[in-house]
Amino acid sequence: MSSNREIGAHAENKAAEYLKQKGYHILEQNFRTPLGEIDIIAKNKRDIVFCEVKYRKGVKAPSLEMINKDKQKKIIKAAYAYIKKNEHKWKKPYDFRFDALGLSDREVIHIEGAFYEC
């Protein structure tokens, strides 16, 4: 039986593949700071996108309400740390967005702009 960490890593890899198929470039996975963690950081032509991934075994993807305000605040703080660390590398200014991806064995639900700075 797989551990929760292995299951989470598998879901995050599946989400990253989904985003790549939609034209996103994956910048980083599992970005960790003392302030919080971001599952996937990606970019498209105009946005840097901070993604939270949730997985549920079975047919139906999880309810994305599982990303509560406390979790959102941690992701936002981690995003600020990522931006501060990396913005000097970007050749143009980007907008920033927080997305949620709910995955199951059969579906992916991608909500762009799932939450904003609290």
Phi-psi region of 36 (alpha: psi -120 to 50; beta: other; left: phi over 0): left
Nearest to 79 by CA among 24, 26, 116: 116
pTM given for the model: 0.89
Topology given in CATH for the domain delimited by 4-112? Trna Endonuclease; Chain: A, domain 1 (3.40.1350)
How does pLDDT run across 87-117, given as a tens digit for each residue? Answer: 888 877 889 999 999 998 888 999 999 988 7
- Sheet with 95-103, edge to edge strand ranges: 25-33, 36-43, 47-55, 95-103, 108-115
Query: Beta 36-43 vs 25-33: how paired, if at all?
Result: antiparallel
Adjacent-strand bridge partners of 48: 43, 96
Residue pLDDT, tens place only, 27-53: 999 999 998 999 999 999 889 999 999
- Mean pLDDT taken over the chain: 89
Determine whether 25 is exposed, middle or buried from the number of CB atoms within 10 Å of its CB (0-12, 13-18, 19+). exposed
Two structure tokens written together for 104: 């199951």
